[in-house]
């Protein structure tokens, strides 16, 4: 089985950092540690199965090719595009946000 590179954009890195900062300030250390594990697990999964994310949001937002994968145990979605050669991670957003506004280029 091929593993494809998962390439987070700069904004996706910031999204992870901001979520982690919030969790460190608001929750026990095990929650923040679990969050990092969940992000790593999600990236591993997407590297193995890049087309497994849901295209539903792409249809709603009229953004062809967009896929979203939920972060296990946390209310976040990894929003990405599968290019055929890599997984281009645009954002990691809390599910309660206005996703359309946050996904605008």
DSSP secondary structure, the chain, as one string: ---PPEEE-HHHHHHHHHHHHHHHHHS-HHHHHHHHHHHHHHHHHHHH-TT-SB-HHHHHHT-TTEEEEEPTTSSEEEEEEE-SS-EEEEEEEETTS-HHHHH--
Tell me what pLDDT residue 1 has.
67
Please state, rounded to an integer, the average pLDDT across all residues of the chain.
90
Q: Which of 71, 68, 70 is nearest to 80 (CA)?
A: 68
**Homologous superfamily of the 6-96 domain (CATH):** RelE-like (3.30.2310.20)
pLDDT in tens, 34-68: 999 999 999 999 999 999 999 887 777 777 889 99
Predicted confidence (pLDDT) at residue 83 exceeds the cutoff of 70: yes
User: pLDDT-based confidence at 105, cuts 50/70/90?
Assistant: low
Tell me the percentage of the chain whose pLDDT exceeds 70. 90
User: pLDDT-based confidence at 82, cuts 50/70/90?
Assistant: very high
Half-sphere exposure of 91 (CA within 13 A, CB side): 15
Q: Where are the domains of the chain?
A: 6-96
């Amino acid at each position: 089985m091929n593993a494809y590179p998962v390439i987070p954009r700069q904004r996706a890195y910031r999204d992870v950092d901001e979520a982690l900062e919030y969790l460190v300030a608001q929750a026990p250390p095990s929650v923040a540690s679990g969050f990092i594990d969940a992000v790593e697990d999600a990236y591993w999964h997407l590297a193995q199965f890049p087309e497994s994310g849901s295209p539903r949001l792409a249809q709603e937002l009229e953004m062809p090719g967009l896929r979203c994968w939920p972060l296990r145990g946390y209310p976040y979605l990894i929003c990405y595009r599968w290019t055929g050669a890599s997984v281009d991670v645009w954002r990691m957003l809390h599910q309660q946000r206005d996703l359309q506004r946050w996904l605008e280029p």
